Chain A
Amino acid sequence: GAVVSQHPSRVICKSGTSVKIECRSLDFQATTMFWYRQFPKKSLMLMATSNEGSKATYEQGVEKDKFLINHASLTLSTLTVTSAHPEDSSFYICSGVAGGFYEQYFGPGTRLTVT
């Protein structure tokens, strides 16, 4: 199957700083990428849908000014958590959708801890 990478895999930052998470499709072009968030012992919840070259669509309750998503190319989407707070600590997972037949591939996730 296709491969999606995420960087970094783990990040610890101080409250008030911003953190950027990269999601790359390594061997396919992802016209759409999804960003999910998973709190400890909880399920994955969709945060936003990112289409290459256009603005991301955010789910209800997700602050678009806090979670900035950029999908500038068919192989890269970035999620920037601005002015992070401890409650933003979570596991962030992206997925890429290959063109044509619907196939969604997940990245390995990024564990964010805000102190």
Chain B
Amino acid sequence: AQKVTQAQTEISVVEKEDVTLDCVYETRDTTYYLFWYKQPPSGELVFLIRRNSFDEQNEISGRYSWNFQKSTSSFNFTITASQVVDSAVYFCALSELGTALIFGKGTTLSVSS
């Protein structure tokens, strides 16, 4: 069975701090996709990244970076030099080819100035 665990329910940081959001997943398939989404108070999901199971290369996009490690079934997300605008709920999700996404419970990030 597929499962996504985001153990951190809420994280509070002060602006300019780095913060890492953890994501651990379970799947029996060898082909799967991992995602991160941001959900601001408006509710609309903002796509951040998709990774397939065959690509373990870490990725950096501006202040965002992702660390995918199949050995530990983790797909962690780091925000460097956090800003108030980063405050939101962040979801990690997993899917197999052509299936719906299985979401983690989300991590609420609060960045204060």
Contact = CB atoms under 8 A, between A and B. Distances in A.
A95 B101 CA distance: 10
B44 interface: yes
Given A43-B104, A43-B106, A32 B98 contact: yes
A43 B105 contact: yes
Contacts of A44: 91, 101, 103
B47 A106 contact: yes
A97 B101 CA distance: 11
Given A1-B47, A91-B43, A46 B33 contact: no
A71 to B, nearest CB: 14
A93 B45 contact: yes
B100 interface: yes
Contact of B43 (A42, A43, A109): A109
Interface residues of A, number: 21
A104 B45 CA distance: 12
A89 B105 CA distance: 19
Contacts of A32: 98
Given A43-B103, A43-B106, A44-B103, A102 B45 contact: no
B82 interface: no
B43 to A, nearest CB: 5
Interface string A25-60: 000000010101010001111100100000000000
Interface of A: 1, 32, 34, 36, 38, 42-46, 49, 91, 93, 95, 97, 102, 104, 106, 108-109, 111
The list of the 4 closest CB pairs from A to B, nearest first, reads A108-B44, A34-B100, A46-B100, A106-B45
6 contacts: A34-B101, A36-B100, A44-B103, A45-B103, A91-B43, A106-B47
